[in-house]
Structures are given as C-alpha cells and as structure tokens.
Structure 1
Amino acid sequence: MAEIGLRERKKQRMYRDVSDIAIGLFLEKGFDQVSVAEVAAAAEISKPTLFRYFPAKEDLVLHRFADHETESARLVAERPEGRTPAGALRERFLSGLAGGDPVTGLCDVPEVLAFHRLLYGTPSLVARAYAYQERSEAALAAALGGGLDARLAAGQVIAVQRVLALDNWRRIVDGEPVAVIRPDAVAAAGRAFDRLTAACPELATPQPPACQPGPPAPDASESR
C-alpha cells in the first residue's frame, strides 16, 4: 500500500511540475508562441511522456482545474444531515469569496490574475475548459441522483458558478478593489443560489438522516 501511495505522489508531482513549467512559458511568451516540444525540453521529458500526462496542449494550463472537477459533487454527496445541495454549494462559494479563492474570481493576487488573463484571452483554452465543465456537470448530476432533471440542475449550478466568478474577475481587471467588489459578490451569489433553489427541486432536498440499525433479530432458540 505504501508503494502505491509513493507512486501516486510521484505522478501528481509530475503533473504539477510540468504544468507549472508550461504555464511559466505561456505567460512569458504567449500560449500560441510556445510549442509542446519546447515545454517538454524545459521539463526535461520526452514529448511522448508529456502527452501521456497531458493529452492536449491546453491541458497543461487547465490541469489546475482538475482538482476542482468533482468538488461540487463531493460537497453534495458529503453534506451533513438536513443540508440541501443548494445550501452546501452556497456555503462553499460564500466561503471562497471570504477567503479570496481563485475559483470564485475574487482574487487579486498578481499570479492568479495573470493566469486568468492567459485563460480567458486564449480561445483554445476557453474552448477546452468546457470539457472540464462537462465533467463537473456529470459528476454533480450523479451526486444529485442522475437522470435528466439532475443533469439540468447540475448544468445550471456549474453555469452560475462560472458566471459569478467571471463577473468578479472582470471587475478586478477593470480596476475595482476586492473590498469594494466583495459585498456585491456575496449578494449576487445569494440571489443566484436562491433562484437555483426555487427552480430546481433536486437542489432543495435535505440530506436524509443516516440509516439507524433496526432491532436485533430474535434468537431462533427462544421461539422453541
């Protein structure tokens, strides 16, 4: 078991290191001006090895989103008793706004802003990001019970989170301070999740209590 853990840690480190090297080159020279061969050379690996980890050049950038693909689904699946899916998702987004989580768009750290400029300023990256969003939707739909209604609800959740984050980022880029944006962002998130809750019954269903063990079965010998 320890050997498997070490192998997985090495794999994750490879993902992170190569992605960081690639993003550094893209920020310096531009996404379209850097070849995959140049990234592989800088990371001191072969192109075939790079493509084993990153099937497309865009994945070198979007790997940073991979850790968040199933976050909404996990929040819904692991929500405490009595909590609705919308409530769990709202709490997480509001917590992200309070903490300046880059996923919410409300983050003015220069490195994060540069990354978002690279992402939103590169059409192929924006297009590739939809694949990550589709996987997030699929995971969330499964956590909501599956079926068309669950997929519709999941699609709306992912879209709302994306639009809220993009609006926050654009306001920062336009020069507004985070302290000015945050109250509006919190209010907007509240309105958005209220609408989601009202529109999607799947998001308004509380987590049922955990199953309690029933009474022990009678001893067969006692009935003789």
Structure 2
Amino acid sequence: MSEIGLRERKRQRMYQTVSDTAIRLFLEKGFDAVSVAEVAAAAEISKPTLFRYFPAKEDLVLYRIADHEQEAARVVAEAEGAPLGALRRHFLAGLERCDPVTGLNDDPRVLAFHSLLYGTPALVARVYAYQQRSEAALAEALGGDLDARLAAGQIIVVLRILANENWRRIASGESVEEVRKDAVAAAERAFGWLERGLPQLAPG
C-alpha cells in the first residue's frame, strides 16, 4: 500500500478513535459536563491535535453521522431511474436492515446516541446545519435550480419526520417488529405523496 494510503488510514483511525472516546464520555457524564481537554486526555492526544481533527466540540459527535450527510444526493446521483423511486427503494431497504438512520433500530447504543444528539441543545443546532447541507447536496444532485431546491427541501423533511417517528416509538418502549409494519406503510404513503406532488421526479 502507498504511503499516502497508509497516512489516510491512520488519519481515519484517529478520527474514529477520538470521536468514539468523546461519545463514550458524553454518554457517561453529559455533553456539557465533559471538556475538550478531558476528551483529549482520554484519547491520549494533545488538545491542539484534537482541534486539528475536530474544530468544534460538537464535531466530535456529528462525525458519527457525517457519512450520511450526502446520502440522499448519492442515491440520486447513482440512480438509473427516477430520483424518487430510487430514494423510496433506498429508505425501504434501510428499514429492512434496521439502519439507524431510518430510526428503526432498538440497539441500546443507538438509542443512547440518538438521545445524546437530540437531547443536547448545542448538538441540535449542529444537526440543523447538517440537514441544511444534506438538502443543499440533494438540490444540486437534482439540478440545482429553484425547483430542485424546493423538491430537496420537501424530500429531506419527509425523511427526517419518518425517521423521528420510528425513533419516538422505539424510544417509548416498542420493539422494532412492533413498529416495522407501520414504518413501511408510512414510508410508502409519504413517498406516494411526494411522487404526486413532484411528478417530474417520479417513476413514469
């Protein structure tokens, strides 16, 4: 393997290790109760080194979902057919495999992370910015004009609400199997509405 490849792997391992260390501390003590210096010490790196990887404390948490920021845009860019058809299939496949992004996952670690993310005001603000970037990336994949931006806004909101409803029910004590049928039906219904409202993006 090339030296560049080795450096990149080392860099990615550092990101993962520091983020995992920070999230563990945040879950144990609370986000506001843990300082960046504590995270750096636990990860056995200096504070300046930590900031080279994560410019803000909130980034230590958001790193775990960073790969999903442009997921909808990737699905559309790689789709051979209509964008909404591809996004529908992708979301339903996520429900089938209990992808945490769909909210249909009852692993205690996933639930704890979700509670941290949406129970911390500073993180909620960053999630909003994350969703804006997701929307902008999707709009670009759909063409980048005003119609694309309007469509992307509707699609991202639908995906967020579907996932949050699944998470709400599971967090209240229902199992994945109790929620799954309703989650699939809700997704089918929501994408049906999108396709009727955005016929230019729907399967022919």
Q: Same fold (TM over 0.5)?
A: yes
**Structure 2 stretches lacking a partner, 5+ long:** none
Give the SS at the match of 1:67: helix
Which whole-Å CA distance do the structure 2 matches of 1:196 and 1:10 have between them? Answer: 43
**Structure 1 stretches lacking a partner, 5+ long:** 207-224
Q: Does 1:133 align with 2:128?
A: no
CA contact (8 A) 1:94 1:189 kept: yes
Which whole-Å CA distance do the structure 2 matches of 1:68 and 1:140 have between them? Answer: 12
What are the superposed Cα offsets for residues 114-159 of structure 1, whole Å, 9 maximum, x if unpaired? 1111111111111111111111111111110111111111111111
Higher Cα radius of gyration: 1
What are the superposed Cα offsets for residues 34-72 of structure 1, whole Å, 9 maximum, x if unpaired? 001110111111222211211211111111111111111
CA contact (8 A) 1:106 1:172 kept: yes
Q: Does 1:64 align with 2:64?
A: yes
What is aligned with 1:6?
Answer: 6
Q: Does 1:95 align with 2:113?
A: no
Which whole-Å CA distance do the structure 2 matches of 1:148 and 1:45 have between them? Answer: 46
CA contact (8 A) 1:65 1:132 kept: no
Aligned residue identity for 1:156 = Q
Which of 104-113 and 133-142 deviates more?
133-142
What are the superposed Cα offsets for residues 75-129 of structure 1, whole Å, 9 maximum, x if unpaired? 111112xx21011111111011111100000000011011111111111111111
Q: Describe how 1:1-224 pairs up with structure 2 within 5 A.
A: 2-80=2-80, 83-204=81-202
CA contact (8 A) 1:150 1:202 kept: no
Which whole-Å CA distance do the structure 1 matches of 2:202 and 2:94 have between them? Answer: 21
How far is the alpha carbon of 1:14 from its aligned partner?
Answer: 1.0
Q: CA RMSD in A?
A: 1.4
Which whole-Å CA distance do the structure 2 matches of 1:169 and 1:177 have between them? Answer: 10
Aligned residues: 204
Which whole-Å CA distance do the structure 2 matches of 1:201 and 1:51 have between them? Answer: 46
Give the SS at the match of 2:55: coil
CA contact (8 A) 2:85 2:203 kept: no
How far is the alpha carbon of 1:182 from its aligned partner?
Answer: 0.4
Indicate the percent of aligned positions where both proteins have the same amino acid.
73
Aligned residue identity for 1:151 = R
Which whole-Å CA distance do the structure 2 matches of 1:94 and 1:17 have between them? Answer: 31
How far is the alpha carbon of 1:205 from its aligned partner?
Answer: 6.4
Aligned residue identity for 1:160 = V
CA contact (8 A) 1:171 1:181 kept: yes
Give the SS at the match of 2:68: coil
